[in-house]
Amino acid sequence: VAAAKGDYRHFMHKEIDEQPRALMDVLRGRIDQERGLITLEDLRLDDQDLRRVRRIYAIACGTAWHAALVAKFMIENLARVRVEVDYASEFRYRQPILQSNGERDALILTFTQSGETVDTLAGMEEARRQGVPSVAIVNAIGSQAARLADGGPIYLHAGPEIGVASTKAFTSMLVAGYLFALRLAQAHGTLTPAQIREHIQALVELPGKAAQVIEQVTPVCVELAERYYRVGNALFLGRQINYPIALEGALKLKEISYIHAEGYPAGEMKHGPIALIDEGMPVVCIATRDHIYEKMISNVEQVRARHGQVIAIGHEGDELLAAKANHFIGVPATLPLLQPVLNVIPLQIFAYHVAVLRGCDVDQPRNLAKSVTVE
């Protein structure tokens, strides 16, 4: 059955709004809150297989690559297993050394909405050649990636995504990555059931918070879109787990509105992008409170000192940040490793409204394809 737009003008808008539902669906049947257990029965790897995993190669393209970058933080933090992230198109040609010393401790983890991206599939085939098991976090049921994943596909169950710019598949990938990280932590014994229960609680509360974000940030995102839709450039800054969210915010804006946008780790700003900042440059700073918050605040100050226009994403009620920024977008707090799921939503909504105001073809941007099945 073809997906219908219903009352929406664009699939992208509909898919942004579907996120609370998608976040519920990706959790369904995979968590046992009472026992503090991640069940994730799709995985064909048992505790013993998972305990053997000491290194993970995460590969993907486009928005899914950003999900892989976020998942690295989740997996390393929760399960203490090393993760290397590659663009699939680079991975396949770099003769990756997946196993050394005959140790069978590697795993390939791919992220793909369509399950048909040619470079991602080639990476999985390379893993197979080297005898390394793979797990695919994938949306399309029965797709090639799902079939190639001998460790099991972890389906997003996000439903069809039609807009070329990925939204609900991205946030679902983040949650699926989190479930995988918790499942791995459970096998490695790096989290107690009581701790896992706390993570499950945060996951259960996430869809409601996503709905709250959509409702509360839309008016300010529309206002900001009206103010900035004529700019030629935009910069997105974040640190640590929110650096990939800065990349994703920039990608969303550039792919659908054709505004040149760059995502940068905020600490690197002084090594280049700061030269571009003037009074005409919107700089989106992701600054929800975490262990690196103070550093983000000084980056905000540095942008202001060069007369850049700071659009800050922060926790609701953060008056310090609101006072320092030109514009403030408040989102609810969740666990720091889950915060990217909420932080990206205003960036999607902002990009959407900018593209609409510029008269762009939001669902089918020029030169882009939903699924890249040729090189």
Half-sphere exposure of 218 (CA within 13 A, CB side): 8
* Token pair recorded at residue 346: 């205003």
Active site residue ranges: 370
* Token pair recorded at residue 32: 């046992």
Q: Smallest distance, Å, CB 141 to ligand G6P?
A: 13
CA 196 to chain centre: 22
Q: Smallest distance, Å, CB 278 to ligand G6P?
A: 31
Nearest CA among 373, 347, 201, 218 for reference residue 283: 347
Beta-carbon contacts of 221 under 8 Å, excluding residues fewer than 6 positions away, are 329, 346, 349, 350, 353
Nearest CA among 56, 113, 64 for reference residue 88: 64
For residues 179 and 192, what is the distance between their CA atoms, to the nearest angstrom?
15
Q: Smallest distance, Å, CB 283 to ligand G6P?
A: 24
- The residues that touch ligand G6P, with contacts defined as CB under 6 A, are 61-64, 112-114, 117, 120, 164-166, 368-372
Q: What letter would DSSP give residue 153?
A: E
Q: Of the two residues 38 and 164, which places its CB atom closer to ligand G6P in the complex?
A: 164
Q: Name the residue number minimizing CB distance to ligand G6P.
A: 62
Q: Smallest distance, Å, CB 138 to ligand G6P?
A: 8
Q: Of the two residues 72 and 315, which places its CB atom closer to ligand G6P in the complex?
A: 72
Q: Of the two residues 55 and 370, which places its CB atom closer to ligand G6P in the complex?
A: 370
Question: CA torsion sign, 198 to 312 to 282 to 361?
Answer: positive
Q: Smallest distance, Å, CB 16 to ligand G6P?
A: 14
Q: Of the two residues 227 and 370, which places its CB atom closer to ligand G6P in the complex?
A: 370
Q: Smallest distance, Å, CB 148 to ligand G6P?
A: 13
Contact in structure between 25 and 157 (CB atoms under 8 Å) = yes
Q: Of the two residues 113 and 240, which places its CB atom closer to ligand G6P in the complex?
A: 113
* Amino acid residing at 328: F
Q: Of the two residues 61 and 311, which places its CB atom closer to ligand G6P in the complex?
A: 61
Q: Please report, for residues 59, 73, 338, the alpha-carbon distance to residue 182 in angstroms, rounded to integers and kept in the order given.
A: 19, 12, 12
* Token pair recorded at residue 69: 């970058």
